[in-house]
């Protein structure tokens, strides 16, 4: 067997080693198309910049993967993988789920969340299965989302898709970068607005935790100054390049958010009114708003393959994936239903706005601030792994580390500048997130399964199932677009973006 591999070899090229077992001495070589495989070792940034075997590549061709010298014993454990997976989903979107349940109905809401959680998990399994399929076929130890889609198009029966297969990688890379950096911008707005609210309410915050109206707020500095205040902490967090070290921050984020959710849950579980007055199924017009909020909440599709590729024993990943998504879906349903039952039609876009103005419940915001700080680093990991390996491969080993750190610093500053400069950033990112999340989580994986396995024989039932899921994803795109545009054209309405606890007045 030749030490190099062609860029797009034909399926069934022969027996290949088990996925994750890398042959010593194997090097990446550019194929006839000039494709480049960029190797990334998160533990040693200077070594992550490998020489290009071909100059005919672009930024979005970056395909970060493990170095051949990386020992499997240095991978992350099953528990660390579960921590990352749960944290990747448990963003600020959970705070808007009670309002989402209201928009769907007390019966339709939880049933729809359950169905969406199952479909999202199924699409993640499809993505992992297709990635493993091409890794075995093409003798590759690692394959990211973009590579998987590219090879899926190359394996299709359509000559046009095969000819334009490389655009699959470009498309996925664009969506991943766009979506993850969009999340990071939202997190900066969330951090600043929540801290500003806590500081301004400090004089009226009481120790008695009975329900009371929000007291008079003491005006403080502009929220944009709060964003700048968080910038140094965010820069320090993203300088962490080791996924195993990030698992520590991820664990801290999980703990802080779990504690805050427990505090919220114990309050909303008290004195629940009679639910018989609540509608079982809401209007179809408000259901579109539910769909946009819910699809945005399941946001971990971008970290699935990086986690699977770094796991010590990848054979356990499907079980870890199912367990993690089950935990996330159960938490979503619990918080969404209890929040709506407790506050009924008075539920606000973020459940934290319905909590009493006392220090116990103000601490919920502080805990979420700590959790989102850690979550920022994990969401930042995905676009960094796409962009930085390509950039560092263009320079000598001497400058690789400096360039790595400079790019990280620039990307963090970019997200902060966008959060500061773009008016009503939350609505713009709601639109972008709905489009990107629907495409990455629901539309692309089923179509990828069809292009990957159709030539090998697929049952009509499987094809119909994949087509139905993609259509559902398109509906999510339309619903999310409608939600954002409807609020953008009606500036007099308060912002109801599900991933923010503060609204633009």
When mean pLDDT is compared across 135-149, 371-385, 476-490, the lowest value belongs to 476-490
What percent of the chain is predicted at pLDDT more than 90? 19
DSSP string, 229-278: HHHHHHHHHHT---HHHHHHHHHHHHHHHHHHHHHHHHHHTSSPPPGGGS
Question: Which of 410, 439, 417, 407 lies closest to 176, judged by CA?
Answer: 439
What does the pLDDT read at residue 296?
76
Span 150-188, pLDDT tens digits: 999 998 888 888 898 999 888 988 888 888 888 888 788
Tell if the pTM clears 0.75, that is, is over it: no
CA distance 409 to 390: 16
What does the pLDDT read at residue 210?
60
Phi then psi dihedrals of residue 349, to 5 deg? -65, -30
Question: Per mean pLDDT, which of 285-294, 420-429, 471-480 is the most reliable?
Answer: 471-480
Average pLDDT over all residues of the chain: 75
Q: Which residues contact 259 (CB under 8 A, 6 or more apart)?
A: 367
Span 73-83, pLDDT tens digits: 357 888 888 88
Span 454-491, pLDDT tens digits: 888 889 999 999 999 999 888 778 777 777 777 767 75
CA distance 476 to 479: 5
CA distance 182 to 175: 10
Residue 492 pLDDT more than 90?
no
DSSP string, 312-371: S-GGGHHHHHHHHHHHHHHHHHHHHHHHHHHHGGG--SSGGGGS-SBHHHHHHHHHHHHH
């Amino acid at each position: 067997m030749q030490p190099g591999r062609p860029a797009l070899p034909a399926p069934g090229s022969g027996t290949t080693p088990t996925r994750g077992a890398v042959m010593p001495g194997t090097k990446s070589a550019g194929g006839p198309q000039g494709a480049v495989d960029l190797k990334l070792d998160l533990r040693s940034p200077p070594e992550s910049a490998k020489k290009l075997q071909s100059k005919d590549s672009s930024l979005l061709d970056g395909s970060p993967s493990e170095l051949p010298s990386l020992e499997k014993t240095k991978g992350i454990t099953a528990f660390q993988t579960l921590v990352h997976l749960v944290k990747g989903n448990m963003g600020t979107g959970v705070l808007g789920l009670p309002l989402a349940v209201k928009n769907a109905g007390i019966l339709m809401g939880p049933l729809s969340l359950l169905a969406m959680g199952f479909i999202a998990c199924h699409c993640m399994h499809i993505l992992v299965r297709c990635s493993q399929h091409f890794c075995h076929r093409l003798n590759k130890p690692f394959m990211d989302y973009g590579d998987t889609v590219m090879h899926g198009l190359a394996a299709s029966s359509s000559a046009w898709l095969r000819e334009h297969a490389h655009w699959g990688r470009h498309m996925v890379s664009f969506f991943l970068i766009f979506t993850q950096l969009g999340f990071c911008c939202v997190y900066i707005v969330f951090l600043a607005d929540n801290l500003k609210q806590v500081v301004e309410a400090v004089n009226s915050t009481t120790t008695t935790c009975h329900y009371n109206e929000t007291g008079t707020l003491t005006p403080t500095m502009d929220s944009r100054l709060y964003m700048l205040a968080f910038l140094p902490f965010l820069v320090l967090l993203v300088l962490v390049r080791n996924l195993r070290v990030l698992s520590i921050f991820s664990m801290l984020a999980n703990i802080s958010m779990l504690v805050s959710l427990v505090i919220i849950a114990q309050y909303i579980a008290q004195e629940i009114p009679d639910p018989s007055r609540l509608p079982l199924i809401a209007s179809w017009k408000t259901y579109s708003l539910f769909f946009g909020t819910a699809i945005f909440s399941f946001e971990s599709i971008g970290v699935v393959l990086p986690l699977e590729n770094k796991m010590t024993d990848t054979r356990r990943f499907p079980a870890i994936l199912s367990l993690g998504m089950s935990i996330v879906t159960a938490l979503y349903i619990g918080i969404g239903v209890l929040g709506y039952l407790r506050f009924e039609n008075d539920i606000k876009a973020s459940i934290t706005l319905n909590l009493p103005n006392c220090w116990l419940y103000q601490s919920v915001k502080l805990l979420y601030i700590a959790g989102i700080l850690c979550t920022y680093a994990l969401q930042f990991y995905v676009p960094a792994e796409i962009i930085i390996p390509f950039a560092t491969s263009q320079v000598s080993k001497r400058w690789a580390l400096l360039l790595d750190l400079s790019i990280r610093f620039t990307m963090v500053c970019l997200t902060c500048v966008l959060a500061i400069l773009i008016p009503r950033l939350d609505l713009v990112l709601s639109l972008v997130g709905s489009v990107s999340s629907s495409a990455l989580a629901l539309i692309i994986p089923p179509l990828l399964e069809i292009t990957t396995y159709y030539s090998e024989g697929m049952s009509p039932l499987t094809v119909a199932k994949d087509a139905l899921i993609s259509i559902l994803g398109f509906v999510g795109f339309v619903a999310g677009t409608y939600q954002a545009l409807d609020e953008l054209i009606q500036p007099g309405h308060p912002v109801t973006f599900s991933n923010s606890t503060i609204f633009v007045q």
